[in-house]
Amino acid sequence: MTRTRLLAWPFRARTCVQRQTIPDADRLPEDEDGEASGLAYGSIATMIFVVALALRVWRAQLPDDTVYADDIFQMLEPAHRLVFGYGYIAWEFVAGVRNWLLPGTLALVLGGLSRIGLDQPETYGPAITGLSILISLFPIEVARRTAHLIGGSRAGLFAAAAAAIYPPLLFAAQKITPEILAGYILPAAILFALRTSRGSAAASGLLCGFVAGLRIHYAPALLVVAWIIFVRRHKDWTSVRSAVAFGAVSFSLFGLVDWWTWGAPFVSYLRAIEVNILYGVASYFGEMPFYFYIAMFPFGIGLALISVLDWPRTRWLLLPVAAILLVHTLIGHKEPRFVFAIHLLTVTAIAIPLAKWTRKGAERRLLAFAVCLCSVVMCAKSYLMPSRPEALLAADYRLAIAELRGQSDMRALATYGVGLYNFPGAFWLHRNIPIVHDDEIPSTSIPPGITHAVVIAGAPVTDGFETIRTYGRLEVRKRINIDQEAVLPPVDWSMPAIFSW
């Protein structure tokens, strides 16, 4: 291998191999200057990945503007409980409406870290975050390969750059949740569906099975993937059957885990339908208007609409976006994370026409530069916007818990006025002690067994306690005279259900 090829791999444009995977009618002619040289292409792609990694590491140090209680209580807490024997038990893990495959996988990672001595939040926390950041680089490569396959080398670089800096993708990079992983895997399934090489349909189906297991609501988008496989392979039903078979294999893993943990295959999905449809649990969290996602992501929706101008080539990516948005628009309760998969597909789609329109003399060159400029401004604005109050509170809470971990005389902890669902969990506290949560500071004295408390900054003085540290919106208080013989509250890691059934 020559020095040029060595430096360019694995990002080098494949100039020596004639592409036969996209019909001539479905792909752009090459740039007027031809394909980028292997060294130049590889250097630019490598630079994009370096920038992406730097942005994600920087973002991980800031308050989490996409924080949800589920991130802690349905992923990290079950994993911590499997490894260390204690942790909060959300009602979903009592009612059996959550599959254990992803929390169990996190538990394997957490257990492996513990075995090599990384058994404290100060060490395993950054390790889990670092793993999620590394995983978040995978969809950037998927975007590059997909756009390159459809639109050539320039489109590939545009897509990689967009995926590297796009705020929804950047802000989610420090998390490992079902919605995020499904949003990473679905575009990869589409990439394999677009390819027509041997085994690509099976690979696409295998990935679709994982998408279905992680986010069953993406099932209509998976039907679009099956259509892509069918169309791209000249209506070959054998390829579709292969994809379905391999998808069934990967999806069956979720059924086996349900069987092992809940006693019946796929029972968590059936129970989720039961509690959400029969008991209307989702409505407890609010119902949003049909235009919620348009209002949440107007810029991304705008990019998708512009991509329609190159419909013959962007349809492969825009149809799954439309399927995801349509399904989730029909569901009353809406959250931004539910449609996370649209983001990577959107930035990949817009990269394809931009690669054509930015050529010298192109008819829509002005539009292309306007889109690029607006995108950079939008990203910069998102990075520089002050964090939301909820994110700041969560960051203060983490700091307060880290402070309390260093208090060797802490026997029992109380949180007043902060809220149970803001608590960072046993994953970050890592102390199996009694914890009392209350929306208000008691009007009478705090029970003598409580030695430490976290309260909203400026809360009324609590008799017998002193403030030892203030973190923005929170204060850490400690009992002045700790009675080692005082009766402690019971240790209770159960979480109350917000409804009855």
Q: Give DSSP secondary structure letters for 212-243.
A: HHH-GGGHHHHHHHHHHHHHHTTS-HHHHHHH
How many secondary structure helices (H) and strands (E) does the chain include?
21, 5
Question: Are 171 and 319 in a shared domain?
Answer: yes
Question: Are 375 and 430 in a shared domain?
Answer: no
State if pTM tops 0.85.
Answer: yes
Question: Are 420 and 311 in a shared domain?
Answer: no
- Residue that is written with structure tokens 């029992």 in the block: 412
Rg of the chain, C-alpha, whole Å: 25
In this structure, what are the phi and psi dihedrals at residue 416, rounded to the nearest 5 degrees? -125, 125
Question: Are 216 and 138 in a shared domain?
Answer: yes
Question: Are 229 and 358 in a shared domain?
Answer: yes
Q: Is the dihedral of CA 328, 329, 334, 336 positive or negative?
A: positive
**Is residue 340 a contact partner of residue 172, using CB atoms and an 8 Å limit?**
yes
pLDDT of the residue at 227: 97
Is residue 442, in this structure, part of any structural domain at all? yes
Q: Which two tokens stand for residue 396?
A: 């203060």
Question: Are 160 and 119 in a shared domain?
Answer: yes
Q: Which two tokens stand for residue 430?
A: 């890592």
pLDDT of the residue at 307: 97
Separation of alpha carbons 465 and 491, rounded Å: 22
pLDDT of the residue at 207: 98
DSSP state of 28: P
- Residue that is written with structure tokens 């538990």 in the block: 107
Question: Are 135 and 225 in a shared domain?
Answer: yes
pLDDT of the residue at 468: 94
Question: Are 407 and 338 in a shared domain?
Answer: no
pLDDT of the residue at 463: 85
Separation of alpha carbons 305 and 114, rounded Å: 48
pLDDT of the residue at 34: 47
Q: Reduced to 3 states, what is the DSSP secondary structure of residue 100? A: coil
Is residue 70, in this structure, part of any structural domain at all? no
Separation of alpha carbons 489 and 453, rounded Å: 14
Question: Are 225 and 340 in a shared domain?
Answer: yes
Question: Are 351 and 460 in a shared domain?
Answer: no
Is residue 1, in this structure, part of any structural domain at all? no
From residue 318, how far is each of 306, 341, 418, 433, 448 by CA, in Å? 11, 11, 42, 50, 61
**Is residue 155 a contact partner of residue 148, using CB atoms and an 8 Å limit?**
yes
Is residue 37, in this structure, part of any structural domain at all? no
Separation of alpha carbons 129 and 109, rounded Å: 12
Q: Is the dihedral of CA 304, 305, 309, 313 positive or negative?
A: positive
Question: Are 266 and 222 in a shared domain?
Answer: yes
Separation of alpha carbons 178 and 320, rounded Å: 18
In this structure, what are the phi and psi dihedrals at residue 62, rounded to the nearest 5 degrees? -100, 160
Is residue 208, in this structure, part of any structural domain at all? yes
Residue type at 380? A
CB within 8 Å of 76: residues ≥ 6 apart: 106, 128, 425, 427
State the Cα angle at 159 between 153 and 160, rounded to 5°: 90
From residue 250, how far is each of 211, 246, 247, 357, 437 by CA, in Å? 9, 7, 5, 40, 41
pLDDT of the residue at 279: 82
pLDDT of the residue at 257: 98
Separation of alpha carbons 100 and 93, rounded Å: 9
DSSP state of 58: H
Is residue 143, in this structure, part of any structural domain at all? yes
pLDDT of the residue at 500: 61
Domain that residue 305 falls in: 47-62+104-384
Q: Reduced to 3 states, what is the DSSP secondary structure of residue 47? A: helix
From residue 292, how far is each of 177, 288, 335, 338, 342 by CA, in Å? 22, 6, 9, 12, 14
Separation of alpha carbons 195 and 63, rounded Å: 40
**Is residue 11 a contact partner of residue 41, using CB atoms and an 8 Å limit?**
yes
Q: How many domains does the chain have?
A: 2
> pLDDT tens per residue, the chain (501 residues)?
443 333 333 444 443 333 434 443 334 333 334 455 677 888 999 999 999 999 999 999 999 988 889 999 999 999 999 999 999 999 999 989 999 999 999 999 999 999 999 999 999 999 999 999 999 999 999 999 999 999 999 999 999 999 999 999 999 999 999 999 999 999 999 999 999 998 999 999 999 999 999 999 999 999 999 999 999 999 999 999 999 999 999 999 999 999 999 999 999 999 998 888 888 888 888 899 999 999 999 999 999 999 999 999 999 999 999 999 999 999 999 999 999 999 999 999 999 999 999 998 899 999 999 999 999 999 999 999 999 999 999 999 999 999 999 999 999 999 999 989 999 999 999 999 999 999 888 766 788 899 999 999 988 888 889 999 999 999 999 999 999 899 999 999 999 876 665
**Is residue 209 a contact partner of residue 247, using CB atoms and an 8 Å limit?**
yes
Q: In what order do the strands lie in the sheet with 452-456?
A: 435-438, 413-416, 452-456, 474-479, 465-471
Q: What H or E segment, with its residue span, contains residue 413?
A: strand 413-416
- Break the chain down into helix, strand, coil percent, rounded to 5: 60, 5, 30
pLDDT of the residue at 36: 56
Question: Are 320 and 359 in a shared domain?
Answer: yes
pLDDT of the residue at 39: 78
Is residue 310, in this structure, part of any structural domain at all? yes
Is residue 36, in this structure, part of any structural domain at all? no
